[in-house]
Copies of this chain bind each other. A is one copy, B any other.
Amino acid sequence: MSTIGGLGEFGLISRLTRRLPQGPAVELGPGDDAAVVAAPDGRTVATTDLLVEGRHFRRDWSGPYDIGIKAAAQNLADVVAMGAAPTALLIGLAIPVDTAVEWAERLYDGLADECTRAGASVVGGDVVGASEEITIAVTALGDLGGRPPLTRSGARPGDLVAVRGRIGYSAAGLELLASGRDEPAELVEAHRRPQPPYEAGEEARAAGATALMDVSDGLLQDLGHIASASGVRIDITRSDVPVPGLLGSAGLDHVLTGGEDHAFAATFPEDAVLPPSWTVLGRVAEGHGVLVDGRPYERGGWDHFRA
C-alpha cells in the first residue's frame, strides 16, 4: 500500500490536483501561490467550514468519496443560501501520514464530483501531516450575479416560512449507523451523502424570498437564526411539517432538530407563489424565538461543542 507519507507533500499534491477538473470560472487553478477565480459581479461570496474526524464523520461509517461529497456539499450549500452561484472550493487537508494515498484520492473525487454538480471547481488547497485525526477545511466561493445577497435578516411579520429538500434523513441515518444498522439504505446514504437541492437558491430568488439559509444544525435552531437576525418570531404549525414515514417513530424530532441535510429554509411575502418543491410550514410574526404550535419545542439542535 502506498501511503501519503511515502509520497511526500508535493507528490501527493500532484496526484490529487491531477483529478480536479477546472471549470470556466477558473482563471488560474492549483499550483501557484494562490488561485484566481472569476467574480463577474465585482464581489465574491465566501464561507469556510471545518470537518473533524470523529466529530463530523467516521471512517468506519463513511467512505472517503462520501466524505468528499459531504464536505463539499455543506459549503456549496452555504454559498447557495446567500442566493449565489458557487464558483470554487479550496481544500485544506490534515491527514495522518500512514493513510493510503487512494483514500485521499477518493476524497478528492468526491469533492470534485460534488463541485461539478454545483457548477464549481476545486481550485487549490493545502495538505499537511496530522498525528491522528483527519481534518478537512473547506472554503467555498460564489458569485451573486449582480443581485443583493439573500441574508437571514430580511424576514418580516406576515411572511411565509417554507423549506426545500430532504430534512431529518441525515439524523435518522446517523442514528441507524450509531446502532449498528445500515437499513433503510436511503437514510444511511442521506447521512453519508447529503444532496442539497442547489436550485433552491434561484427558486427562492424567483419567488421573492425575504430570507434564506441552509439547514445545517437543525431546522428549529436554524430558523432561530433567521428569527434572531430579522428581529421576528417564527411560528411553525406542526401539522404542516412533512414527516416521511421512512423516518420512523422519531420522525418529527429528526425533521425539527436533525442537522446536516443541507436543505434550505426561506421566508417569502405572504402572496408569494412557490414552486411545488417548497413546503410552507409556518409564518413569521412579531416577537422573538421559534414556536411549534405556539410553544417552544423540547429537543435542541446541534452545538458542535456540546453535542
Which residues does A use to contact B, with CB under 8 Å? Answer: 4-5, 7-10, 12, 27-28, 31-50, 52, 54-56, 78-79, 81-82, 84, 88, 90-94, 97, 123-133, 135, 137, 139-142, 144, 149, 151-153, 213-214, 229, 303-306
Q: A131 vs B56: C-alpha distance in the bound complex, in angstroms?
A: 12
B94 lies within 8 A of A128 (CB): no
A54, closest chain B residue (CB): B131
* Chain B nearest CB, measured from A295 CB (Å): 22
Are the C-beta atoms of A27 and B9 separated by less than 8 Å? no
Please name all residues of chain B whose beta carbon is closer than 8 Å to the beta carbon of A303 when the two chains form the complex.
8-10
B50 to A45, Cβ gap below 8 A?
A: no
Q: Given A31-B229, A131-B133, A304-B9, do A37 and B44 touch, yes or no (CB 8 Å)? A: yes
Q: Which of A32, A90, A132 has the most CB of B within 10 A?
A: A32
A56-B124 in contact (CB<8A): no
A288 to chain B, nearest CB (A): 15
Contacts of A32 in B (CB 8 A): 82, 149, 151-153, 213, 229
> Are A94 and B50 touching (Cβ within 8 A)?
yes
Pair A46/B92 contact, Cβ less than 8 Å: no
Q: Are A37 and B43 in contact (CB under 8 A)?
A: yes
Given A39-B43, A47-B34: A135 and B28 interface contact (C-beta under 8 Å): no
A50 and B129 alpha carbons, distance in the complex (Å):
10
Q: How far is the CB of A46 from chain B (nearest CB, A)?
A: 5
- Cβ–Cβ contact B124 & A47, under 8 A: yes
CA distance A235 to B140 in the complex (A): 40
